[in-house]
Structure 1
Amino acid sequence: MIKPFDLMDVLGRILLDDAPKTPGSEEAIRTAAAALQFIDATGQVADFEDYVRNLEAYAPPLAIARFDTRQDADAWLMAQKRPPLFASILVADEYFSVFFNPTSGWKGLGRQPRLEFYLQEMADQRLTPSGLSFATKTEAEAWMNQQPTPPQQVVIDIAGAPYLAAYHHRIDYRVLYPLPAPTPPSQET
């Protein structure tokens, strides 16, 4: 469990005892401490802990919502009085960024290649297959839907092809992503 006050204590010791010499270090440490105080003061410690666990598990990037169509996502965004300044959502299994300018009131969505980067990283890590193998995608989906709490990410085989069975736990969404071919090793010597 992350304890913001313990982390702030560490940052304070670095600031006072180690006196960072890199330009901007003091401001960076003070800003990090203020971010921890904000997380604590706004009751978001559990969400922050969840975010850190998500990173440590190499789980799919967090999304705050999912929509079947871009029109549904646009309607949701326009209905928000105060949407997040920046967040990720899924639209038909693709990541989009939510943008909001509180000064002008402008709201918008932009497609982001976050999923492609994540899947390529998973392929490049050459994760050990789980041993789970299915003849069809339908069989794999049935397996995922039977899991009370599926793994956040696990490599499975569907008809001889590697897939990432992913669980977006914040929005309770299960999905199968085909993994791309790993990036070939560099030929530079």
Structure 2
Amino acid sequence: MNPLVLSDAQQVIGRRWRERQSPEQERILRLARDVLDFISATGQWYPFADFRLDDGHRAVQSSAEDGPQELRELLIQTERYFGKLLDEPTAAGEQASIQLILDAFRFISSTRQYSAFGDFVEHVEFHAPPFVVASFESQEEAEAWLENHPAPPAFADILIGGRYHDVVYERETDFRRLPWNRDLERYLAWLKRVEPPVAAAEFATREEAEAWLRSQPNPSRRVWVTIAGEFFLAAYHPNINHRALYPLSMAEGYEEEAEEGPGD
């Protein structure tokens, strides 16, 4: 299965987006988008591909045993919507992508990832920094993790010294790399444009800001602060319990690339 099929499925969702659609339709389409993004962002491409190869995977039914009830009900509604769409004449030529979307919902159910997916949806809705699956202080530490990982999370992002990197992994050849990417820079440029920074707290030094961030029992996923007059985004990545300070200066030069942001 080619990873580009996830992009094809996203296009099917996009073609059904309307400016004046019902709130229910919007929730359904957003959730379908988020399910596909969740599989990619969490590095579950290969587990999902293996799931689809199992002849019995389409018999999986949504479970009522795990996760928030509201989310489970919305997942069931969304699955029904795309199940009905699969048989409509207007979906001619899109059946493969629609089936992939349905399989993505069943993958979440089969692997009991309602709670993790619910956290991811909250992450998206809050326009938090790009999702990461791990954080390391040094390149050497990250390389050791990648080398020893039995099944690296392909296509996911990780942090190395506060910079974003892709996890590149090809199972067939065991090819592994951690190239730097510009996801954070583009995100900060986008956030600056749509939400001009207003500091929630001010600090004289980075050490003071880090101590403040560590002391927060339930930190916000993102909040602007200033350190010696410079803006920083204080961020919290709850899935890995990581707190970070991202300087807004990283966005310089990326403003023109930040036309679309998280969730658009």
TM range (shorter): 0.7 to 0.9
Per-residue displacement from partner, 1:86-125 (whole Å, max 9, x unpaired)? Answer: 2111100111111211111222211111111111111111
Aligned with 2:106: secondary structure? helix
Number of the residue aligned with 1:76: 145
Structure 1 stretches lacking a partner, 5+ long = 185-189
Helix, strand or coil: the match of 1:167? strand
Find 1:125's aligned residue among 166, 170, 194: 194
1:163 aligns with 2:255: no
Alignment of 1:125-144 (within 5 A): 125-127=194-196, 129-144=198-213
Question: Is 2:134 aligned against 1:65?
Answer: yes
Deviation at 1:183, TM superposition (A): 4.1
Identity of aligned residues (%): 34
Are 2:235 and 2:245, in contact at CA under 8 Å, matched by a contact in 1? Answer: yes
Give the TM-score normalised by the residue count of structure 1.
0.86
Q: Is the 2:164–2:180 Cα contact (8 Å) retained in structure 1?
A: yes
Size of the aligned set, in residue pairs, is 182
Write the letter of the residue equivalent to 1:20: T
Residues 127, 155 of structure 1: 8 Å contact kept: no
Deviation for aligned residue 1:34: 0.8
After TM superposition, list the pairs within 5 Å mapping 1:1-189 onto structure 2.
1-3=70-72, 4-16=75-87, 19-21=89-91, 24-127=93-196, 129-180=198-249, 183=255
SS of structure 2 residue aligned to 1:43 = coil
The offset of 1:126, in angstroms, is 3.0
- Kindly provide the CA deviation profile for residues 19-64 of structure 1, in whole angstroms up to 9, marking residues without a partner as x: 435x643322221111111111112222222111111101111111
Given that residues 20 and 26 in structure 1 are in contact (C-alpha distance below 8 angstroms), is that contact kept between their aligned partners in structure 2?
Answer: no
Q: Tell me, what secondary structure is at the counterpart of 2:156? A: strand
Q: Which amino acid aligns with 2:118?
A: E
Amino acid at match of 2:161: A
CA deviation after TM superposition for structure 1 residue 79, in Å: 0.6
Letter in 1 for 2:90: P
Once residues 128 and 180 of structure 2 are traced to their aligned partners in structure 1, the CA distance between those partners, rounded to angstroms, is 20
RMSD between aligned residues = 2.1
User: Higher mean Cα deviation, 120-129 or 50-59?
Assistant: 120-129
Q: Is the 8 Å Cα contact of residues 197 and 231 (structure 2) preserved in structure 1? A: no
Maintained 8 Å contact 2:199/2:231: no
Higher helix share: 2
